[in-house]
Structure 1
Amino acid sequence: MEWLGLQLFADLPAGGQIILDCRHNLFLVLLAYAVACAGCFATLDMAERQSHCENRLARRQWRLLGACCLAGGIWAMHFIGMLAFQAPLDIRYDAPLTALSLLIALLAAWLAMNSLNRSDMRLRHYLQTALFIGLGISVMHYTGMAALQTGARQYYQTELLLASIALAVASSLIALLMARHFRSGSGGLHLLMKHGACLLMGAGIVATHLTGMAAMTLVIPDASAMQLPIADNAPQLALTIAFITLLISGSSISAALADKKLQSKEHDLRRVNVLLSQLDQARASLQQAAHYDALTTLVNRRGFNQLFAERLSEHAAQGSMLAVMFLDIDHFKRINDSLGHAAGDELLKVIAGHIKAATRSHDLVARFGGDEFCIVTPLNSHDEARHLAQRIMLRMKEPIELGGRRMVMTTSIGISVFPDDGLTGEELLKNADLALYQSKACGRNSLHFFDNRLKARATLELQLEEELREALFEERGLCVYYQPIYDLRSAKVAKLEALVRWQHPQHGLLGPDRFIGIAEANGLIADLDLWVLRRACSDLAWLNQHGYSDLKVTVNCSALTLGREELANEVEMALFQAGVEARHLELEVTENALMGDIQHTVSLLKRIRAQGVALSIDDFGTGYSSLAYLKRLPLDVLKIERSFVVDVPGVQKDCEIVQAIIAMAHTLHLKVVTEGVETVEQQAFLAAHGCDFLQGYLLSRPVPIVALRAALQRLDQQHGVFTPCCDTSRPGSPDPFPDTPGYHAGASAVPQGH
């Protein structure tokens, strides 16, 4: 078959002269190999830049430059390889065919670079592309051979011709795989492997060319004259082509290297930008965590302090008013105790939503922790703050579904106003907290504005707390007064109620209404109760030594003390240290104190009663008054609170109530003591209806131990015929410690009926 003057797949002719003296210039062959390797290396760099480039136009430019490098390397290797061919003939080259061979090389190289641009390449894609590229290289090679003009005809052996085409296809497949593999990666090992791949690819291309050259046989026809070579300028031409090709490849490699560095810097800058963005996000997250509550998303205490300071500064500059509201959820602890902390958290979210919905967009709402919230709102008058607080309280009363239950919560609110109630944030918050404390003290579910009396009271309570602690632990100023309890049947004083007093160095003699609440709030009440118990047992031992061996002493026990497991041991130790028998001691507890943990209370009282100590329930009728509880408690005595007898016998309903209580107590085998007896008529009524013991001003006021023996002698001498005691101007005269809710005239170590 003849193609462009080449005899392909044809046998040698019978006539003609075969040129046998054909050889290759080894230097030019090695130069061709170097050019091919340089072209392959440049092509791999272009493929790498193409795969890493994000811009579509830039990717196309790298693809075109890569195709030029690959085509230039292959074509220059082929042309230098032909220049390396030496034969005893005059060799010339056809320019159009030479240019055509270059175009064919460019087409094959463009096809190769396009295949490397595909994101998904399967084996069949590699095989198809390698076949097309290999055939393109073969066509380029034989087109270039057709451009070789020597005056002889070129015959090609079929086996070697097919072998050259196979080598071209195989070289193309290997080149595709390597270029695909080496288009990503970095490091010294990657570069070393890349150089090795270039050497292998260059060897494949050179082997394809030399195999094609080996397949060629030059035959001079019989009718043609042999033209000898005139001049040999092949080395100079080969060096020129090699220089141009290497310059192009080197420039491309340099451009690729520069672009790689620039892209690396861009990636570094992007990475820095990403890190800066992540840092900003982390800073924002930290800012959110530092200044906002994670549960309710409201501002937390730290964020509130910052924003509050800013708003306070603005309003101070404008001379406008600002309200600070403290909110506390009433009885929130019961939710955590009964339904668990998870339910409590859900409730706080709902409550935070209610508060936010009731406030305005420019109001500052914060959660300080637990169930404490704070609101800062601008206002023109106190009424605006009151209306906002009332709106919040009304919104809070909306039913809430929680844990399968429908519940209604209430809130207590304290309000302070800038600048009337303070000029600094700390002062305003403290005053709002004092107002909140007042709301709680008034039964909760209410609001109060701060006034200076609250501050004065708080200052006084703080001072009294410090001084009470010193008085208790240094045993300085505290004393016990005793009020006689008269036995109507024996017509003698049978008991003494121990009542604590505090001889304050500045304020004089203080009743329990002034300091018991402070003791309870600051954890001193248990120590105070124990001190009274020990002092009462000691005083009783002294009385026993002076002829009063049948007297009992009753000591009040607070709710907090009653909850202590060690109370039974403390009672036993106090009796032992004073040398007093247990039958001479009686502990008084109130109804409300008994209703905490009823099972624990019953167990503890049974242990105390087993020692021989009597037990009485004080202020009966003012607390729960549950007969179901009363019958379970190991009691000996029931005390009727003074409010039931104050109008006896003048008011029929009060008389009936007292009679019913006495009858009920006797039915339960309990003795009855009536407190607050101040008139002879009350004494006569109670004696007529079976009351066992009397206590009140008609008999005696509470007196210190030094005046007690005189009071006892006076009572024993009256033989049941009483006149008002000597320390009162008339029955019912004002007491130094007047009644307050939860207290009576002779208060003890607890606020309920002491």
Structure 2
Amino acid sequence: MEWLGLRFGELSNGSALLLECSHNGFLVLLAYLIACAGSFATLDMADRLRHTEVPRARTRWRWTGAGCLAVGVWAMHFISMLAFEAPVDLHYDLVITVASLVIALAAGCLAVDCMGRPTISWLQFLCTGVGMGLAIALMHYVGMSAIRSHAAMYYDPALFSLSIGVSIAASLATLGIIRHFRSGNGAMQHVLKLSASLLMGAGFVSTHFTGMNAMNMAMHPGHMFAPVTTNNGQQLALTIAAVTLMILAGSVSAAIADKKLQGKEHDLQRVNALLSQLDQARASLQHAAHYDALTNLINRRGFNQIFADKLLEQQASGGKLAIMFLDIDHFKRINDSLGHAAGDELLTVIASHITHAVRHPDDVVARFGGDEFCVLLALEQQQDAEHLARRIMQRMTAPISIAGRRMVMTTSIGISIYPDDGTTSEELLKNADLALYQSKDSGRNSIHFFSPSLRTRATLELQLEEELRHALREGSGLELFYQPIFDLRSGTVAKLEALIRWQHPQHGWLAPDRFLGVAEANGLITELDSWVLRRACRDLARLSLAGHPSLKMAVNCSASTLGRDALPGEIADALAKAGLKPERLELEVTENALMSNIASTAGLLNQIRELGVSLSIDDFGTGYSSLAYLKRLPLDTLKIDRSFIQDIPASPQDMEIVQAIIIMAHSLRLQVVTEGVETLAQYEFLQSHGCDYLQGYLLSRPVPLSQLGPVLDRLRQRQDPAVGRVGER
């Protein structure tokens, strides 16, 4: 029987001579290696297809994978044909041989279609595998039909069918392996890929040699054996193998190079993305650093930068500038009566009024903090500043609806002029501030320009400085007041905070905020701190003799004093002269003092801690401390500033902040003191949320040493300081 040019069944003539044929073992091994190489290259292309997202690149690697599979299978087939050895002369038809290569490409295209689909059903998978298997079998038998010889070729139908089945099975297995390596991952990927290539190569070789085993060659009577010519099959096979390996190696090399390039591109994209995020973060930080979060106006820092630039412009052009300070009259009443939320809403409306009142886009409106605003504008004549100030005051007369109430706010304004009132930003801002205070002193809701007469205040400050020097030198007028610090766990007074007061000859008792600024500005603060330290230690020794041996003393330390290397020695000397143990002294430093020079501060604090003195961070939350540094400093106590407690329980936000600070401090193994406690509700809130100590008018006002004994006795007798103390001043 003959079908499609192939003869099937037994030999047609019993007298025909069956030829003994064999295969060249070296070429068979070479064919297998070529099949494995083609399979490996195809799997590599599938891997590249998985990692490529660009459509053009996906198309390129899809067709490269098809070519690798087709070339590998066809080269394996042709080298195996060259490995076939018969006792007759064999030749190959070039056209039919090329046709078999085209069929191999068709098989590769079917594999490509399967590789390129993101999902494929079992039916599609089965149909593709069967089609690919039939194409490979067709390539094999078309290639065998290219043999030209005097001998006749007959095929065993059973083995012929088996070869087609093997081809289909090998194709299905190949497609399954390819799809696995499109989605596989792991460190064993390359080992698995090599193992899979060996299995795929074995499948293709099995297809070929099953078909070859189905073929028998015979010489019919009357045909003479043609002499076998010189066999160059091995040389041709080596040539085909070399060319095929070069093609496959080039494809794999291109895939490796593309993978590295894509990796670099991905790295570059990640770097660009990180840089973009960094730029966005920098822009956000820049905005946060220079703009007020509530009103979105420029803050003090941003204003100072713009002010410096404007001064340079006016210096070059000879123009004038006006600096206008605004303060909202009686704003504190809004916070006290309606709450901070209403106060924030009011500030937003006022900021809008001021912004809409300015005449030119180049005019700068800033919020310096609280209810204080500043306006900077270029002048053609001095009246322009007054006109703008009056426009602002006119807009302020419009009723504002806040928290269900309609109210009219007023503002006090102080103005200084460049260059008439100063040539530097510091001088001009200071003079505008002096003019603002003049407006307040004049009954508020008014406008004042700076004038030389306002320098009287500066003169008074100078006089105050001289008098403070005299008080320190003579040891007269200065006094320490003490405020108890209550231990919520033991229900006793555990500490006292030493607070300085000055009994001025003309002005009476002065609070620290009246003269500490003068002391800091004129280099007296270090001497003042030293006086407070010595006096506090002496008074604590007296209290010990009076029956209070366990009390600790908290003494404040300024930033200037904290920067002195001699401080540990001075502390040790003060303790020794008073006969006190270091454990009874606690040094309080502010956030800003800690962070002003973190390197030297940390070393100095460690020296103080080695003495046995406790360390406390004061006014926490009002400065700019970094937790990254805070956790490395040898601190014992964290003191929450009164600004966070004064609106509790009316302010849920402040309550959340205080809770967070307490939790954070305890996580850093710091004890927590809350100052400014004045109400029973505040006391109960702090007690319920784990605060360690409290301080404030609920216990006692600061009192001099002579009045401290009765206060301590009263608090010792009363376990709950809140009972009967609400509202006591």
For the aligned pair, the TM-score class normalised by the smaller chain equals 0.5 to 0.7
Q: Is the CA contact (8 Å cut-off) linking 1:365 and 1:373 kept in structure 2?
A: yes
Helix, strand or coil at the partner of 2:153: strand
Change (3 A) 1:417 1:601: farther
Amino acid at match of 2:356: A
Q: Is the CA contact (8 Å cut-off) linking 2:699 and 2:725 kept in structure 1?
A: no
Deviations 1:75-106 (A, max 9, x none): 01001111222233332212221111001111
Deviations 1:580-636 (A, max 9, x none): xxxxxxxxxxxxxxxxxxx989977xxxxxxxxxxxxxxxxxxxxxxxxxxxxxxxx
Change (3 A) 1:429 1:26: same
Hey, what's the Cα distance between the residues in 2 that align with 1:160 and 1:345? 92
Q: Is the CA contact (8 Å cut-off) linking 2:422 and 2:428 kept in structure 1?
A: yes
Task: Report how far residue 442 of structure 1 moved.
Answer: 2.3
| Greater mean alpha carbon deviation, residues 120-129 or residues 22-31 | 120-129
| Greater mean alpha carbon deviation, residues 466-475 or residues 48-57 | 466-475
Where does 1:274-313 land on structure 2 (aligned, <5 Å)? 274-313=273-312
Helix, strand or coil at the partner of 1:375: strand
Hey, what's the Cα distance between the residues in 2 that align with 1:123 and 1:409? 78
Correspondence for 1:39? 38
Deviations 1:217-244 (A, max 9, x none): 3344566555563433321221121111
Hey, what's the Cα distance between the residues in 2 that align with 1:254 and 1:366? 63
Deviations 1:264-313 (A, max 9, x none): 33333333333333332232222222222233222222222111111111
Correspondence for 1:668? none
Q: Is the CA contact (8 Å cut-off) linking 1:51 and 1:183 kept in structure 2?
A: yes
Hey, what's the Cα distance between the residues in 2 that align with 1:184 and 1:411? 71
Q: Is the CA contact (8 Å cut-off) linking 2:129 and 2:171 kept in structure 1?
A: yes
Amino acid at match of 1:145: M
Hey, what's the Cα distance between the residues in 1 that align with 2:327 and 2:726? 30
Where does 1:322-471 land on structure 2 (aligned, <5 Å)? 322-359=321-358, 360-461=360-461, 463-464=463-464, 467=467
Helix, strand or coil at the partner of 1:65: helix
Task: Report how far residue 429 of structure 1 moved.
Answer: 0.7
Q: Is the CA contact (8 Å cut-off) linking 1:151 and 1:220 kept in structure 2?
A: yes
Q: Is the CA contact (8 Å cut-off) linking 2:323 and 2:428 kept in structure 1?
A: yes
Where does 1:233-252 land on structure 2 (aligned, <5 Å)? 233-252=232-251
Hey, what's the Cα distance between the residues in 2 that align with 1:251 and 1:197? 21
Amino acid at match of 2:452: N
Change (3 A) 1:37 1:567: closer
Change (3 A) 1:225 1:400: farther
Q: Is the CA contact (8 Å cut-off) linking 1:461 and 1:518 kept in structure 2?
A: no
Any stretches of 5+ residues in structure 1 without a counterpart? 479-501, 505-509, 525-562, 578-598, 605-754
Change (3 A) 1:225 1:603: closer
Deviations 1:510-546 (A, max 9, x none): 6xxxx3697697399xxxxxxxxxxxxxxxxxxxxxx
Task: Report how far residue 31 of structure 1 moved.
Answer: 0.2
| Greater mean alpha carbon deviation, residues 441-450 or residues 161-170 | 161-170
Amino acid at match of 1:308: F
Amino acid at match of 1:110: C
Helix, strand or coil at the partner of 1:445: coil
Hey, what's the Cα distance between the residues in 1 that align with 2:164 and 2:403? 83
Amino acid at match of 1:19: L
Q: Is the CA contact (8 Å cut-off) linking 1:339 and 1:403 kept in structure 2?
A: yes
Correspondence for 1:96? 95
Deviations 1:318-345 (A, max 9, x none): 1111011112222322333334334433
Change (3 A) 1:2 1:343: farther
Hey, what's the Cα distance between the residues in 2 that align with 1:142 and 1:445? 107
Helix, strand or coil at the partner of 2:188: helix
Task: Report how far residue 441 of structure 1 moved.
Answer: 1.9
| Greater mean alpha carbon deviation, residues 45-54 or residues 143-152 | 45-54
Where does 1:510-589 land on structure 2 (aligned, <5 Å)? 515=507, 522=514
Correspondence for 1:625? none
Change (3 A) 1:519 1:145: closer
Q: Is the CA contact (8 Å cut-off) linking 1:322 and 1:378 kept in structure 2?
A: yes
Deviations 1:29-74 (A, max 9, x none): 1100111111122222333344444554444343333322221111
Hey, what's the Cα distance between the residues in 2 that align with 1:433 and 1:457? 11
Hey, what's the Cα distance between the residues in 2 that align with 1:309 and 1:274? 35
Task: Report how far residue 377 of structure 1 moved.
Answer: 0.9
Correspondence for 1:189? 188
Hey, what's the Cα distance between the residues in 2 that align with 1:568 and 1:46? 83
Amino acid at match of 2:249: G
Is 2:142 the counterpart of 1:143?
yes
Hey, what's the Cα distance between the residues in 2 that align with 1:358 and 1:469? 47
Q: Is the CA contact (8 Å cut-off) linking 1:130 and 1:169 kept in structure 2?
A: yes
Correspondence for 2:206? 207
Helix, strand or coil at the partner of 2:246: helix
Change (3 A) 1:440 1:125: farther
Q: Is the CA contact (8 Å cut-off) linking 1:470 and 1:476 kept in structure 2?
A: no
Change (3 A) 1:425 1:193: same
The TM-score, its normalising length taken from structure 2, stands at: 0.63
The TM-score, its normalising length taken from structure 1, stands at: 0.61
Q: Is the CA contact (8 Å cut-off) linking 1:37 and 1:201 kept in structure 2?
A: yes
Q: Is the CA contact (8 Å cut-off) linking 1:45 and 1:183 kept in structure 2?
A: no
Deviations 1:447-471 (A, max 9, x none): 2211111122243145347737966
Q: Is the CA contact (8 Å cut-off) linking 1:49 and 1:62 kept in structure 2?
A: yes
Hey, what's the Cα distance between the residues in 1 that align with 2:309 and 2:3? 93
Correspondence for 2:217? 218
Amino acid at match of 2:35: A
| Greater mean alpha carbon deviation, residues 221-230 or residues 452-461 | 221-230
Task: Report how far residue 131 of structure 1 moved.
Answer: 2.2
Q: Is the CA contact (8 Å cut-off) linking 1:465 and 1:518 kept in structure 2?
A: no
Number of aligned positions between the proteins: 511
Any stretches of 5+ residues in structure 2 without a counterpart? 480-502, 517-695, 711-723
Amino acid at match of 2:91: R
Helix, strand or coil at the partner of 1:129: helix
Amino acid at match of 2:251: S
Amino acid at match of 1:266: E
* Seq. identity, %: 57
Hey, what's the Cα distance between the residues in 2 that align with 1:303 and 1:477? 40
Amino acid at match of 1:522: R
Q: Is the CA contact (8 Å cut-off) linking 1:396 and 1:409 kept in structure 2?
A: yes
Amino acid at match of 2:375: I
Q: Is the CA contact (8 Å cut-off) linking 1:18 and 1:217 kept in structure 2?
A: no
For the pair shown, the structure with the greater C-alpha radius of gyration is 1
Task: Report how far residue 248 of structure 1 moved.
Answer: 1.4
Pairwise CA RMSD: 3.7
Hey, what's the Cα distance between the residues in 1 that align with 2:362 and 2:305? 16
| Greater mean alpha carbon deviation, residues 87-96 or residues 371-380 | 87-96
Change (3 A) 1:255 1:335: same
Deviations 1:646-680 (A, max 9, x none): xxxxxxxxxxxxxxxxxxxxxxxxxxxxxxxxxxx
Helix, strand or coil at the partner of 1:417: strand
Q: Is the CA contact (8 Å cut-off) linking 1:37 and 1:202 kept in structure 2?
A: yes
Correspondence for 1:66? 65
Is 2:16 the counterpart of 1:24?
no
Hey, what's the Cα distance between the residues in 1 that align with 2:176 and 2:434? 82
Change (3 A) 1:410 1:600: farther
Hey, what's the Cα distance between the residues in 2 that align with 1:202 and 1:69? 13
Change (3 A) 1:4 1:430: same
Hey, what's the Cα distance between the residues in 2 that align with 1:102 and 1:349? 80
Deviations 1:122-171 (A, max 9, x none): 44433332222222111111111211233344333344333322332332
Helix, strand or coil at the partner of 2:257: helix
Q: Is the CA contact (8 Å cut-off) linking 1:16 and 1:220 kept in structure 2?
A: no
